[in-house]
Amino acid sequence: MLHNLQIEEMHAEVESPEKRARALLGQMTLEEKIGQLSQVNGSGHHLHDDIRAGRIGSILNEVNVDEINEAQRIALKESRLGIPLLIGRDVIHGFKTIFPIPLGQAATWDTESVRAAAAVAALEAASKGVNWTFAPMIDITRDPRWGRIAESLGEDPLLCSKLGAAMIEGFQGSRLSDAGSIAACAKHFAGYGAVESGLDYATANIPENELRNVYLTPFKAAADAGVATFMASFSDLNGVPASGNEFLMKQVLRDEWGFGGFVVSDWDSIKELTVHGFAADDRQAAYEAASAGVDMEMASSLYREQLPALIESGKLSESRIDEMVLNVLRIKYESGLFENAYTDPHRFPALVNADHRKLAKAVAIKSCVLLKNDGPVLPLSVEHLSDIAVIGPLADDGYEQLGTWVFDGESHHSHTCLRAIYEMAGDKARVHWAPGMRGLRCRESVGLNDAVAAAEQSDVALLFMGEESILSGEAHCRADIDLPGQQEALIEAVAATGTPIVLVVMAGRPLTLGKILDKVAAVLYAWHPGTMGGPAIADILFGKESPSGKLPVSFPRVVGQIPIYYSRKNTGRPPSHDSITHIDEIDGKAEQTSLGMSAFHLDAGFTPQFHFGYGLSYTKFAYRDMSLSTHQLRMGETLTLRCVVENIGERTSEEVVQLYIRDLVGNVTRPVRELKGFQRLPLQPGESREVTFALHTDDLAFYDRRMELVTEAGGFHAWIGSSSDPELWAEFEVVD
């Protein structure tokens, strides 16, 4: 005969999270309901009474597993209804094992790498009791001045959608209730990456057509991938702050997309509705957020303080609160917290273990982008070098290589570049180490002479330049995105020695490198590469690995070109290399050297320094034999595009093959190029493979001027190649 507890467990397995949530909701007081909508920062004894009373639904920023287990015990055993807690943490690109920053992961163009990195991050975080992360950040951004570009997946909707979905799959696993899975959060909904002047918390003005065709695309993909939660943006969108934006939260997210998880505010963003001037006081701010569809409040306490009075006055219905609570409870049931809220760290693998470090290194290798390689000077060979200069503070800084948004990673776990180069050189070459400057932002020349001396006695100078981690991330925006401090002067001084320079850049954003590009023989862009950045970079520099990363964002020549991105509109007067005007300085006078009237900057041209999708290799790839299964495609059919890619060099490497299209005529103007597919392709020297892309007519759809998603008949161009400046071209037509 089954005990009652066993019967309850059997019923729990059969009943859906929805049914269980509704049954629990029917037992809750108003205070307990509002408690489920309240997230507080930290934990400890001062919160225990509120947990017992059911006034807290989630805790933020606690990673002491004993504290978390005690909080869960109180919630389960000492509160009236025994509702477990969600434990949130910003696990952005790793927990203890730190992977490249998200922008660096985007440079891998590899969904499996991104998924695997998120899975390790989730596993490590879960071992400490964390069951919810505030990632991925899938804001489309085209402004490298914005500090949070480091946390983004780049400028393109398709690439961001694919990688964002992969990250969600990594965090959440096959089921939220599985050990090692944690709930993901798609943020920041929506338009945050388009803030004016690349300035954090600023306003974003995005026409609805552009919003739907570009900025909402990754969020729709996240919803389709089953993301558990969304986070509202700090910023206002077209005059309505996201935390009070009913169009976003109800019309788009709930009604159009059918999202069934819950929405959390960003930190204090409900309270900040009054600062925006959108709400007159705290009570109106709480009303606007709850009415718009923000289910849980992060950090601030307006819901707890103001919702009871709003309900009592009749301004807000308790049925609206019930909807919000159901959204939260549903995720708690799906996460298996009612059955398994406690964490036993001994049931998890060790943090920063060998397998995790191996993966971190592999992802870092794929993230590095080779931007220049004259000579080629790379790869280096210790057999042919007697002396190597290693210059720059970033060469031996385990903390800075981790990047922004690292709350739990520790610098002593980092394997630095200097250490890896010493290991690579062994007893075959001498390494001359000189920091060259006190810090990356230092404007003094202290250390410069030592750097020059190291270069003068060396066959090659490896310069590790870029940004400290604090220069990117939230509230760390820059108006000038040149190399900070005296870095350019240091590069020029080393260049004057005649020793060839290999510049390794670690940064949280694209930097403007035009002033020093002609001073260096090679540039390897390594972003902030994480725990295993040192050996990953060393393996590339010394040829154990071939670079294969591709840029997920365009690099401007100068900051005045921003925003500059590959999928621009054509305009009525599009620029071309044959139609632009150049202004040159001749004897102090501006001289016009060619004629043309089109959309470009007189002093910068119309092309970026490095375009989206660009990245060199230690081998060469040839593209040929592009073919289409048909040149006339009917609605509802699929077009197959093929080409042959051959490794015509002497090294094994991987190529990222990219498919672009252009819709020549549309109900609204369409970009000159749009990414529609990509594949990572490993090739041995002399090996060639056929690459196939399938393009359904639905893949050609866009939101028209009526905000309807349509595929229109008409002519299209298609390209396949190694970047957004591709090698092969064809055309086709869609017919009704």
Q: Cite the active site residues.
A: 266
Angle between helices 318-334 and 17-25 (to 10 degrees): 140
**Whole-angstrom distance, CA of residue 715 vs CA of residue 569:** 17
Are the C-beta atoms of residues 159 and 136 closer than 8 Å to each other? Answer: no
Pairing of strands 632-634, 728-735: parallel
**Whole-angstrom distance, CA of residue 732 vs CA of residue 611:** 25
Are the C-beta atoms of residues 184 and 133 closer than 8 Å to each other? Answer: yes
DSSP bridge partners of 308? none
Are the C-beta atoms of residues 693 and 638 closer than 8 Å to each other? Answer: no
What are the C-alpha distances in Å from 183 to residues 62, 100, 125, 170?
16, 21, 11, 10
Q: Coil, strand or helix: which one is 635?
A: coil
Structure tokens, 40: 């507080």
**Among the listed residues 693, 620, 682, the one whose alpha carbon sits nearest the alpha carbon of residue 658:** 693
* Sequence-distant (≥ 6) Cβ neighbours of residue 296 within 8 angstroms: 36, 37, 38, 39, 57, 58, 262, 263, 264, 265, 324, 328
Are the C-beta atoms of residues 683 and 724 closer than 8 Å to each other? Answer: no
**Among the listed residues 145, 106, 112, 246, the one whose alpha carbon sits nearest the alpha carbon of residue 190:** 246
What are the C-alpha distances in Å from 700 to residues 215, 613, 614?
17, 20, 24
Write out the DSSP string of 162-231. Answer: HHHHHHHHHHH-S-TTSTT--B-EEEEETTGGG-GGG-TT--B---HHHIIIIISHHHHHHHHTT-SEEE
